[in-house]
A and B are shown apart, each in its own frame.
Chain A
Amino acid sequence: MRSDALTLPSNAPRPVVSAAAHALFWLVFANAIGVLIAILLLFPALNRLLGEWTYGRWIMVHLNLELYGWMSLPMVGFLFKVYGADRGPLALWCRPVLWVWSAALAVGAYSWLTGHSSGKLFLDWSGYARVLFPLAMLALWLLLAVAFVREWKAATIYARGAKAAGLLLLLIVPFILFFASSPNYYPAINPDTGGPTGASQLESSLIIVAILLMLPFGLARRKAERSKAIAISWAIMVAEFLLCFVLGRADISHHRPAQFLSLGSLLIWIPLTPAYYAAFNWNANTRRWRIAFLCWWAALVLSGWVLFLPGILDHFKFTDGLVGHSLLAMAGFTSSLLIFVLVQLLGEDGWIFNRTRSFYGWNVAVLGYVMLMTAAGWREGFDPTFTILPGVARHVIYILRLVVGGVMLAASLDWLIDAATLLRESSVVHATQEATS
């Protein structure tokens, strides 16, 4: 594949390759910070070398770059593809939009390191960065809107409707982000844990489900034979949104049966999602990541519900157990889903994510991390000194955590290097084609 790329015209749309490269850059950067954080836990004295850029500030950078860099930019690539912004003269504007996005992330990272934060987890945007990042989102929106208008005639009426609705939703996102980052707004609180309520967890999970259901329509064609799974899935999702609406947004404990039972309604997605995805035609090279993301999804839904049950949540709250669950969600499920999306978008160029070493390295490391953190959280639930005071067991866990973090960093670096190679080769092909024409 790699040697052919120089002589054969690449079938990879370059904006998507660029989006993948930007996303992977931020993944590697954020993972490197994760490794730094793991080192600082083992050797806290090293904080002195960092001056004012201590552990707490790096955590903000790590979390936000994972979310707004790695987890967002592949979806930007997806939107380029769906709205047709990656074709024709508009494709020239995809890369500038990616630059603006990355510049906003760089400004954000600097602002967090210099102590500017809203004090809200994953919504630390503050001051100048809080204005710049939504503007970057608006730049993307504008590009998509122009692409939408340009492709108006070519699209079917259903596609037009879906894309118009999508544009409306996307227009709201920057404003939501701006206002949600304000210290004046705070979501519903579970009074028994200080965390989110069952209803708000159901709501955020359903947004993920909605994205999962929409993705295949932008990525692949449906199989010829009709599948009931598609209609059933959409119907269940609407019903669950209604349930969510009924539950409201009050500060309610997870001990209320209505809360944990309603959250349990998500379990239906464990069998339903694979059936839904089986109704579409996928590139053959997406197979391993499709299986991976569906496995992580099943693990996430099941463990998410179990961890919310009375008694269990009380045991694990504020412990490493929930850190492990967050990693399962972000590095396990979301990352494998995003890579699956990128492989599908890249077509044959998806080889960059399909090296056996990085695939198993990443997934085994994530599994190891989740198991370690669950074990630590289980122990910590009985004895808070397990984390607060030093001990052999805690140190061993921190060392193992550093090791698996290092493996995740190495895997992501592998993808980045391959993506950079692909980008370079794709540029050469592009230049050659231009010269020939």
Chain B
Amino acid sequence: MLRDDGRVSGWQGVSLVAITYVYFLIFAQFAFLKRLASLGVAGSHLTAVMAAMAVGGILFSLLTPRLSIWPSPSLRLRIGLCVSASAAFLSLLPIGPVACIVLSFLIGAGLGLLTVTLVTHLRCWMGNRNPLLLAGLGTGVGYLVCNIPAFFNASAEVQATTAGLLCLAGVGVTFLPMQPQPEETPATPQTNYSFLCVLACFTALVWLDSAAFFIIQKTPELKAGTWEGSMHLSANGALHLLAALASVWLLRRRGLMFVLSASFLALGVACLLLLDPHRIALASIFYPIGVSLYSVALVAYPALLAPVTSAAERGRQAGWLYAIAGWSGSAMGIGMGQHLGSIPPLFVLASGAVILLSWPHSIVQQHKREVTLTLAMLLTAFGLNCILTANDSPLQLTPVERGRQVYISEGCINCHTQYIRPNSPDILMWGLPEPLQALRHERPPLIGNRRQGPDLSQVGGRRSPLWLKLHFYNPPEVSGASIMPSYAFLFRDQRGDDLVSYLESLHGSGLPQHRSEEENWHPSPSAVASANDRDGERLFHRSCATCHDANGETRWADHFKRLPPDLTVGPYLHLSLAEDLAQRRNRIARIVKFGVHGTDMPGHEYLPDNEIASISLWLSQQIRQPNHNP
């Protein structure tokens, strides 16, 4: 069945790699576990079943290169595929715990035999034309297939059957022509790292990946954010494929260690993001990228890149790699996920140290001076900082002081000013200016330089704590289409309430005077003349309906001091029977512009007169006679 060099197109190798990945990912990692759950295997039984798989995998990964029987790679591969297919079909039977243990061992053994044989002789099925690209393509296609929504969401039985059938198809592929095992070539500088170093890096990556995978699987809100929904799954599949191809490109251009480091960065970031369920969307981008980057290397390194002198040595290295990094790393990662429920940042750092410190050739050796001086300066700065802060006694800050610090930390000054300019339109909108001396007492003054939002120097006089809190949770909801980000995360600890306390403390000394000026304000005659009720209705729905419509999003009744009235029915506490229509329109305009002090009703100070007049006109038409007052 052997053909001359160069006559193998390579698609056999691609399909064998893809089949192996699909079998491992969708059957061994998913379907078999679901099947065990449906068979009632749990607790210590489940642990024993999983341990049996690991034992089978480790044992056969190490034994395969040393087996003297079945010397033909094709035959050995066929046996591995047949064992794997049999295990998948047997899992469909209603078996007991002991049989599950045996079956699990069979899955591990089949995979051990299959994977080590495949990578040891991969070039026989890949050919010599771009084998690295083909290995990456096989890996990427494997992940892509697993993420096809219909397949991913299918029942365990369908997944197991498909995996088994794919293995049988793989058996068919092994009967196609292959090329002889090529001569081993000397190591290139890019791959000239010690095997132990590479093994340690892969182990750290598989450990991280398995822990993250297990935690996502077991946490419904994380799972919902990563593997649920057709769009999400399709995007994951595409990301896997693209990352696999990127991995090929990087392996060629930057070498193995670069790819492993990039993979660690992506996986490490994903693991850290998983600590916060709110960042799961971001984690779901980094995770597949990190996984595919190293998965390609996990095939390419033992098959194509390892600096070996014989096929036997290649096989032995592949065996150790899959036994230690693959099976043991995976088992340890799952154990960590089971016992801790999360990946401690320190562990991520330690993994990073293993991988990134594996760059001694390129970093420490070539940049001794740079690394030494940088480390020395980092340490010196640390020591100096300790000395400078040694005498700082821990201050007991008030909530207002802590809130001011939160204001600074979040960079609020980049969008909000705290400075009302004298003799300017600022005064009517936001209050009377304060003397500079008062500002000079602040450490530092938070004047700001840009207004993406309103001035906040006297916001405490204009907004209630409840309104501020609602606004921080979801700004567009209470402040018509605001572009401010949500700061709901601040309320997971004390920071949110501190920030609200700080903003509530921002009052000007001229507040009473400003209130009296508000009382005398009315829209300009030209604005009143140009007002129209259609604009009023549109503006009402943008700025007011969230509270004043019966279906308004913000009507958290139990939080308001008084439930905001549905303005189609009232009650209208702040309107009077004695007022004529013009007076009522002015009254409504004042309420719209400045709010109702002492309540949760905010003003809309920044709206121009014509918009205020339009809202006022429309509302005065909608509101029935204010004789509904209780």
Contacts and interface: CB of A to CB of B under 8 A. Distances in A.
A136 B377 contact: yes
B8 to A, nearest CB: 36
B409 A183 contact: no
Contacts of A131: 381, 384-385, 388
Interface in B592-630: 606-608, 611
B444 A128 contact: no
Interface in B479-510: 480-487, 489
B410 interface: yes
Contact of A115 (B382, B384, B409, B482): B409
Most chain A CB atoms below 10 A, which of B381, B446, B481: B381
Interface string B359-394: 000000001011111100110111011001000000
A135 B381 contact: yes
B411 A117 contact: yes
Nearest to B418: A194
B278 interface: yes
A60 B278 CA distance: 23
A318 B421 CA distance: 10
A44 B483 contact: yes
Interface residues of chain A: helix, strand, loop or mixed (majority):
helix
A100 B373 contact: yes
B607 A385 contact: yes
A183 B443 contact: yes
B414 to A, nearest CB: 4
A94 to B, nearest CB: 10
A59 interface: yes
Interface stretch (B177-185, B260-268, B287-295, B448-456): B448-456
A65 to B, nearest CB: 14
B360 to A, nearest CB: 17
B147 to A, nearest CB: 21
A92 B413 contact: no
B374 A96 contact: yes
Interface in A17-40: 40
Contacts of B447: 189, 194-195
A428 to B, nearest CB: 14
Nearest to A117: B408
Nearest to B424: A314
9 contacts: A44-B476, A48-B278, A48-B485, A93-B373, A99-B373, A131-B385, A193-B421, A318-B451, A322-B449
Contacts of A136: 377
Given A44-B485, A51-B273, A192 B444 contact: no
A30 to B, nearest CB: 15
Nearest to B451: A318
Interface in B113-146: none
Given A99-B374, A314-B421, A40 B485 contact: yes
B114 to A, nearest CB: 39
B450 A322 contact: yes
A424 interface: no
Contacts of B408: 117-119
A127 interface: yes
A166 interface: no
Contacts of B378: 103, 107, 132
Interface of B: 273, 276, 278-279, 281-282, 367, 369-374, 377-378, 380-382, 384-385, 388, 407-415, 417, 419, 421-425, 429, 436, 439-440, 443-454, 476, 480-487, 489, 606-608, 611
Interface string A355-369: 000000000000000
A100 B409 contact: no
A96 B369 contact: yes
Contacts, number: 174
Contacts of B476: 44
A183 B443 CA distance: 5
Contacts of A54: 410, 485, 487
A151 interface: no
Contacts of A52: 489
B422 A192 contact: yes
Interface stretch (A5-13, A203-211, A217-225, A386-394): A386-394
A284 to B, nearest CB: 35
Interface residues of A, number: 66
A53 B385 CA distance: 25
A87 interface: no
Contact of A135 (B384, B436, B439, B484): B384
A172 interface: no
A51 B278 contact: yes
Given A95-B369, A383-B608, A51 B486 contact: no
A116 interface: yes
B144 to A, nearest CB: 24
A44 B370 contact: no
Interface string A185-201: 11001011111000000
A384 B429 contact: yes
Given A48-B486, A389-B480, A56 B412 contact: yes
A186 B444 contact: yes
Contacts of B414: 55-56, 59-60
B445 A186 contact: yes
B409 to A, nearest CB: 3
A194 B419 contact: yes
Contacts of B436: 189, 191, 251
Nearest to A387: B452
A291 interface: no
A385 B608 contact: yes
A93 B481 contact: no
Contacts of B276: 51
A374 B570 CA distance: 46
Contact of A317 (B370, B421, B423): B421
A50 B481 CA distance: 20
A139 B377 contact: yes
Interface in A101-142: 103-104, 107, 112, 115-121, 127-128, 131-132, 135-136, 139
Contacts of A119: 407-408, 413, 444, 446
B422 A95 contact: no
A184 interface: yes
A323 interface: yes
A47 interface: yes
B282 A49 contact: yes
A285 interface: no
Contacts of B382: 128
A57 interface: yes
A40 B486 CA distance: 12
A172 B374 CA distance: 22
A90 to B, nearest CB: 12
Contacts of A194: 417, 419, 421, 447-448
Interface string A382-421: 0111011110000000000000000000000000000000
Given A97-B373, A119-B408, A56 B446 contact: no
Given A100-B377, A385-B606, A47 B485 contact: yes
Contacts of B439: 189
A128 B415 CA distance: 26
Contacts of B424: 314
Given A96-B374, A185-B444, 19 more contacts: A44-B476, A47-B485, A57-B409, A96-B369, A96-B372, A107-B378, A117-B408, A117-B409, A119-B413, A131-B388, A184-B443, A186-B444, A191-B422, A314-B421, A317-B421, A318-B449, A323-B450, A385-B607, A389-B606
